[in-house]
Chain A
Amino acid sequence: MNHYALFLTSFSPACRKLACLPILVAVLATALPGCGGNSQPGITLLNVSYDPTRELYRDINALFTRQWQEKTGIPLTINQSHGGSGKQARAVIEGLQADVVTLALGYDIDALVEHGGLVAPDWATRLPHNSVPFYSTIVFLVRKGNPKNIRDWNDLIRPDVSVITPNPKTSGGARWNYLAAWGHVLTERLGDPALAVKEPDSPAVKEAQAAARAFLADLFQRVPVLDSGARGATTTFVQRHIGDVLLTWENEAILAVQELGPDQFEIIYPSHSILAEPPVTVVDKVVDSRGTRDVATAYLEFLYTPEAQQLAAKHHFRPTAELPDKDNIPVFPEIRLFTLRDLHGDWKTAHTIHFSEGGVFDQIFNARQVSDRNSP
């Protein structure tokens, strides 16, 4: 008796029909690009981006394609792809034909330099502000009325507080959260966190870094769930009512308050935080082979224009340019910001120290595992 054959025939007819679905999808998928190319003359660009920028780039693309067509007469279509930042970078490394990438952190663009030489090593210097057209920061989202009275970083390691932040190994946003906490301790201890790079061997810096490590160990002791991505962490905090405070991008926090009701959550700005810089670049290998370098570069330069900056501000990203129309943009509270360059110089160093296999983040959990085993 062949159980496998019987197994297949035992499905209800509806389910068997469902099994044909993948074939149908495959047929459509092979057919569609062909007709798409024929019916749409002109240029197409692909912008590969991370999760929270979906609505922002939809608005920017509409504006830019209109302007481009008016200027050159050539129709332009910009396609968007969104997902976790690291996953998106990997897709480009594995052959996704992205003309431009707009990712959550410089490390993911550095990966495009290192794997396959898709982007020139000097990418960060090609556009103003280290190729970061608009920025954000890391803030606290707490429940309405702030029942645990969380005001600043040091409140996060109080024994009665439970913190939600995703796994920094799988989430770009979580790396900013983690480094913001690290930078907080350095700022508190040293006054100027940039001393960590300027005088790496001074005893004060060493002592501050040890304190920062202890702070992060305490912090992650208070994390009950390590989600794999930023949206997952927001769901855990908002829908599952787990945790007292969520560490997240400012733009995500504002969006959460707007979407879910100001009667449920409020944003707390700590005394200082990190300048979270999501950078952009053209993918050299792709634009050279597709012949789209001019339009791709123009597109990225457009991000620095007042119109685009205005849209960014509307979507809760902090603009880098002074905007003429002050009345029409939301006010972002003043907050003291340190940069990744202050803390570690560059992403590669930061990543090796903290997030690589056996780095500080792993050591925190390994030490905890050992102490759990030894305690009765």
Chain B
Amino acid sequence: MKRFRFNRFGLLPGFGLTLGITLSFLGLLVLLPFTALTLRTLQISPEKFWEILASPRITSSFRLTFLTALVAAFINAAFGFLVAWTLTRYSFPGRRVVDAVIDLPFALPTAVSGIALTALYAPNGWLGHFLAKLGIQVAYTPAGIVLALVFIGFPFVVRTLQPAIADLEDEYEEAAASLGANRWQTFIRVIFPAVLPALLTGTTMAFARALGEYGSIVFISGNMPYRTEILPLLIITRLEQFDYAGATVLAVAMLAASFTLLVITNLIQGRITRYAQESMK
């Protein structure tokens, strides 16, 4: 049996100190608030806990929150990949400007993005009134929520993919070409598997970010019960009525669901990374 032991690297000093700081930092900043949150739900009986979660308003909100986050993550994966590819592989005038623009959603307060998107896509907005003529409504529908989430999550995918694409050695592509692969085959069989782990990381981050988004959504979604009411809004609604316990139930359920999903994607990602590394050998 392999014994569990600390892996001390003789070359790097300060292992004990840095591990100590890491653990206390994580404990104070991440684990402690979550523990406090979970403890608060203990005030509620399990039946009551379940009763709150099973109400149709909450379940439809759960569905909306996770589905819109998932759709937005997939859209971001596809278009984020394209953008990252274009920015790393091609050079064109204004590339650095475009590159800088990618960071904007990070820097903007989410409420500002929400208001800006609503102004643009509302039935009287610049884009919204063209779409309205076609019978398409974006603001105040789930499509509006997806739009805001795509905006918020986009930089995560681009910024994780860029270094991975830049790291690709030309030799692999040259080798693939010399072995008779056409460009499409090279992309599918050689390039894509190599950047897939980074793509998954970025998409997962965008997804996780989208689940918790509140600031921009409340402006663009219209907040109609059963239709466009996201979970974070229901949590705020409970708090607004001083129903701390009810709010905590929703928060803990959301936390548990997100955590499970993140663990699953991490497991998948681990497998794919290993597969990618093995196939590269």
Contact = CB atoms under 8 A, between A and B. Distances in A.
Interface stretch (A42-50, A199-207, A290-298, A355-363): A355-363
Contact of B201 (A3, A224, A240, A242): A3
Nearest to A115: B242
Interface in A210-264: 224-228, 232, 235, 239-242
Given A6-B164, A228-B236, A369 B159 contact: no
B223 A3 contact: no
Interface residues of A, number: 44
A167 interface: yes
Contact of A6 (B107, B139, B160, B225): B160
Contacts of A11: 103, 159
Interface string B117-138: 0110011110000000000000
A228 B103 contact: no
Given A3-B164, A3-B201, A6-B164, A240 B243 contact: no
Nearest to B269: A3
Contacts of B106: 15
Interface in B210-269: 218-219, 222-226, 233, 236-243, 246
Nearest to B221: A225
B64 interface: no
A97 B56 CA distance: 39
Contact of B241 (A18, A84, A240, A355): A355
Interface in B5-37: none
Contacts of B222: 224-226
Contacts of A357: 238, 241, 243, 246
B163 A6 contact: yes
B240 A170 contact: yes
B272 to A, nearest CB: 12
B226 A9 contact: no
Contacts of B167: 1, 6
A355 B218 CA distance: 20
B197 A3 contact: yes
B99 interface: yes
B178 to A, nearest CB: 25
A366 B57 contact: yes
Contact of B242 (A1, A114, A232, A242): A114
A144 interface: no
B162 interface: yes
Nearest to B84: A10
B181 to A, nearest CB: 24
B62 interface: no
B140 interface: yes
B159 A228 contact: no
A242 B164 CA distance: 46
A100 to B, nearest CB: 20
Nearest to A94: B244
A86 B240 CA distance: 5
B252 to A, nearest CB: 17
A355 B240 CA distance: 11
A356 B246 CA distance: 11
A189 interface: no
B198 interface: yes
B188 interface: no
B100 interface: yes
A332 interface: no
B173 to A, nearest CB: 18
A114 B243 CA distance: 12
Nearest to A84: B240
Contacts, number: 111
A89 B241 CA distance: 10
A365 B226 contact: yes
Contacts of A241: 122-124
A14 interface: yes
A90 interface: yes
Contacts of B118: 240
A87 interface: yes
A246 B160 CA distance: 45
A60 interface: no
A7 B224 contact: no
Given A232-B219, A242-B123, A369-B226, A10 B100 contact: no
Contacts of B140: 224-225
A30 B180 CA distance: 65
B131 to A, nearest CB: 14
Nearest to A169: B237
A167 B198 contact: no
Interface string A312-345: 0000000000000000000000000000000000
A368 B225 CA distance: 10
A111 B237 CA distance: 15
A365 B227 CA distance: 11
Given A15-B103, A224-B140, A7 B240 contact: no
Contact of A87 (B99, B160, B197, B240): B240
A375 interface: no
A12 B163 contact: no
14 contacts: A1-B198, A3-B198, A3-B201, A6-B163, A10-B159, A15-B106, A86-B239, A89-B242, A114-B242, A170-B236, A224-B140, A241-B122, A242-B122, A356-B241
Interface of B: 56-57, 99-100, 103, 106-107, 115, 118-119, 122-125, 139-140, 159-160, 162-164, 167, 197-198, 201-202, 218-219, 222-226, 233, 236-243, 246
Closest 7 CB pairs of A and B: A6-B163, A86-B240, A225-B222, A365-B225, A240-B122, A226-B223, A3-B201
Given A7-B202, A362-B57, 12 more contacts: A3-B163, A3-B164, A15-B103, A84-B240, A86-B241, A170-B236, A170-B237, A225-B223, A226-B223, A240-B124, A240-B125, A351-B241
